Amino acid sequence: MSLLDVQDLTLTLRSAGKNITALNRLTFHLDAGETLAVVGESGCGKSMTALAIMGLLPAASARITHGSIRFDNQDLTRLSVRQYQQLRGQRIAMIFQDAMSALNPVKTIGSQLMEVLQVHLGISRHAAHERAIALLARVKIPDAARRMTDYPHQLSGGMSQRVMIAMAIACEPRVLIADEPTTALDVTIQAQILQLLRDIQRETGMALLLITHDLGVVAAMAQRVAVMYAGRIIEQASVLALFDNPIHPYTQGLLRSTPKSGQPGERLYAIPGRVPPLNALPSGCAFRNRCPLARQACSEQIPEIHSPRPQHGAACLVNAPAQRGEEPYDYTA
């Protein structure tokens, strides 16, 4: 049984008096010790998925209307606010995209780390202080004891991200969600942060849900990958299978858009158009207006995920195996 199992998750947002489907029947799973990457352009629903799992969406404007989020065989969609608060940060934790914004600017990093430890573990202030120093050292912040008194503005981007990782792993969660953990960092620091996450994962056995738009990061970190577009998962496979033989035209476009080493000056491919707004999706396949393979049928029905290969599925009518009598792949099996 999977550690985290999302089934047919549908999320509705209330905006300007209208209901908008932000996440549409998402289904994926995450096993203990595994890394699953969720990729796609900005606006496709990656961060929304993370916030839904963490229970951090505003109740006044966001509502899960269908499906389930099962963690350790417990349906998170049925938890009370208090139950979610006890779970969040202790058993499931998240690294946010902008570390500088996520940290409190008027509190020292030491006090913020200690607060996490005291709230979730109920330990004394002295014990929290000692453990916070150990956590900063664990994420390779030099002179950790002295850094406890630093404020966020005194840290570099890479250091801020390390502090966020220290806070996220403070209670040794079973699942860590990392939302674009290397955004705005230079290449050298990116590599260090990714290696740090790999080291922590190897030491603790935690599962990692990695949200990114960088396929290079996916290749370096993940075992499996789910490609999102306009609130839906449109392809899902092992990283090797997806990179070697992508099925969906959108995935093929993403891979063609990735810079290749050893080819300086080559003009990168760009997928034409933009991700459509959620309140103005085209009929049928949401990608059809940008797709070089689109045909009339693509405007008439929303494609379901089918699998032409074991454990590799895509939601595309042009490449759909259903036309050849094959069964769709069940990712919950």
Q: 8 and 64 in one domain?
A: yes
Query: Could you tell me if residue 265 is inside a domain?
Result: no
Query: Could you tell me if residue 250 is inside a domain?
Result: yes
**Residue spans of the chain under pLDDT 70:** 261-266, 320-333
Q: 194 and 60 in one domain?
A: yes
Domain boundary among 155, 172, 189: 172
Q: 195 and 117 in one domain?
A: no
* The residue count for the chain: 333
Q: 282 and 185 in one domain?
A: yes
Other C-beta atoms lying within 10 Å of the C-beta of residue 97: 20
For the chain, where are the E strands, in sequence order?
4-15, 18-30, 35-39, 62-71, 74-75, 92-95, 175-179, 207-212, 224-229, 232-238, 306-309, 312-314
- CA 96, CA 181: separation in Å to the nearest integer? 7
Residue reference for tokens 């502090």: 163
- Contact (Cβ atoms closer than 8 angstroms) between residue 236 and residue 226: yes
- CA 134, CA 142: separation in Å to the nearest integer? 11
Q: 290 and 228 in one domain?
A: yes
Domain boundary among 145, 172, 199: 172
- Contact (Cβ atoms closer than 8 angstroms) between residue 94 and residue 179: yes
Q: Measure the CA angle with vertex 155, ends 153 and 160; round to 5°.
A: 105
Domain boundary among 149, 172, 195: 172
Q: 152 and 192 in one domain?
A: no
148 contacts: CB under 8 Å, gap ≥ 6: 108, 109, 110, 113, 129, 132, 133, 136
pLDDT of the residue at 1: 74
Query: Could you tell me if residue 46 is inside a domain?
Result: yes
Q: 231 and 123 in one domain?
A: no
Query: Could you tell me if residue 96 is inside a domain?
Result: no
pLDDT of the residue at 151: 96
Other C-beta atoms lying within 10 Å of the C-beta of residue 323: 11
pLDDT of the residue at 261: 61
pLDDT of the residue at 56: 94
pLDDT of the residue at 262: 56
pLDDT of the residue at 329: 37
pLDDT of the residue at 323: 42
Q: 74 and 21 in one domain?
A: yes
322 contacts: CB under 8 Å, gap ≥ 6: 304, 306, 328
Q: 125 and 59 in one domain?
A: no
How distant, in Å, are the alpha carbons of 28, 92, 187 from that of 36?
Answer: 9, 15, 22
What's the domain range around 115? Answer: 101-172
Q: 241 and 279 in one domain?
A: yes
pLDDT of the residue at 101: 82
Q: Do β-strands 62-71 and 35-39 pair in parallel, antiparallel, or remain unpaired?
A: unpaired
- In eight-state DSSP terms, residue 330 is -
Query: Could you tell me if residue 178 is inside a domain?
Result: yes
Please state the pTM of the whole predicted model. 0.91
pLDDT of the residue at 330: 38
How distant, in Å, are the alpha carbons of 8, 11, 18, 55, 208 from that of 58?
Answer: 21, 12, 16, 9, 24
CATH (domain of 195): 3.40.50.300
The domain total for the chain is 2
Query: Could you tell me if residue 318 is inside a domain?
Result: yes
pLDDT of the residue at 327: 43
In what helix (H) or strand (E) does residue 202 lie, and over which residues does it extend?
helix 187-204
Q: 244 and 218 in one domain?
A: yes
Query: Could you tell me if residue 266 is inside a domain?
Result: no
Query: Could you tell me if residue 137 is inside a domain?
Result: yes
- CA 176, CA 8: separation in Å to the nearest integer? 21
- CA 172, CA 113: separation in Å to the nearest integer? 13
| Reduced 3-state DSSP string for 165-199 | HHHHCCCCCCEEEEECCCCCCCHHHHHHHHHHHHH
Q: 81 and 187 in one domain?
A: yes
